[in-house]
Chains A and B, each alone.
Chain A
Amino acid sequence: GNSVTQMEGPVTLSEEAFLTINCTYTATGYPSLFWYVQYPGEGLQLLLKATKADDKGSNKGFEATYRKETTSFHLEKGSVQVSDSAVYFCALSPSYSGAGSYQLTFGKGTKLSVIP
């Protein structure tokens, strides 16, 4: 079956540090890949997505590149802020015929804390 593996947290960084959160996946074919962010006490928000190999998703200074050869979708940001403190979830949605969004598979989440 499909699966998503994220680096375990928590991750603690100082403001303006470089962020990388690793995500690898197992799936057949060419799934769509997502990063969602969850701020404390809130629901998930879509941060960025990529739907085919070598695509780069980007939003709010965050980037992730869909690497088919390494089955990875690592999240990066060049300079984190305190306001980026949240839990980040990597997810995939299968793309084969008959698949649906109900088959969205999430990683366990990585908690990021950014200190001033």
Chain B
Amino acid sequence: DGGITQSPKYLFRKEGQNVTLSCEQNLNHDAMYWYRQDPGQGLRLIYYSQIVNDFQKGDIAEGYSVSREKKESFPLTVTSAQKNPTAFYLCASSDSLAADTQYFGPGTRLTVL
């Protein structure tokens, strides 16, 4: 089955630690995205990538970093510089940056202790 996988489903981190969230897709999509979701809020774009070895900041990139070394993988690192990292993180992909439909993974809930 084609789709997007995110791991882990739940993640706990101590303050001051970096943590990396995994996102893998087997849809052969060129574009990938990371969103943050907070309770009662819509989704906010953190980073996006339209092709391997290329990525761009979204609306709330501060305190986050990404890499795109392979087409199918787009890991997100939440650094200690992110002041309020506790949230639900969603990865998505689309056929291209111009495509109007995105497909989402199941999400990772990050909690900072």
Interface residues of A (CB under 8 A from B): 4, 32, 34, 36, 41-46, 49, 51, 89, 93, 95, 99-102, 104-109
Expressed in whole angstroms, the minimum distance between the Cβ of B98 and any Cβ of chain A is 5
- Are A102's CB and B104's CB within 8 A? no
- Are B42's CB and A101's CB within 8 A? no
Residue numbers in B under 8 Å from A46 (CB-CB): 101-103
Residue numbers in B under 8 Å from A42 (CB-CB): 106-107
Q: How far is the CA of A40 from the CA of B28 in the complex (A)?
A: 27
- Are B90's CB and A101's CB within 8 A? no
Number of interface residues of B (CB under 8 A): 28
14 residue pairs A–B, Cβ–Cβ below 8 Å: A34-B101, A41-B107, A43-B104, A44-B104, A49-B100, A89-B43, A99-B98, A101-B98, A102-B48, A102-B58, A104-B102, A105-B42, A106-B43, A108-B40
Residue numbers in A under 8 Å from B98 (CB-CB): 99-101
Number of A-B residue pairs with CB-CB distance less than 8 Å in the complex they form = 65
Q: Residue on A with the closest CB to B41? A: A108
- Are A49's CB and B106's CB within 8 A? no
Q: With A101-B31, A101-B99 given, is the CB distance from A106 to B42 under 8 Å?
A: yes
Residue numbers in B under 8 Å from A101 (CB-CB): 31, 33, 94, 96-102
Q: How far is the CA of A50 from the CA of B102 in the complex (A)?
A: 14
Q: Residue on B with the closest CB to A3? A: B42
Best-buried of A4, A89, A100 by chain B (most CB within 10 Å): A100
Q: Residue on B with the closest CB to A94? A: B100
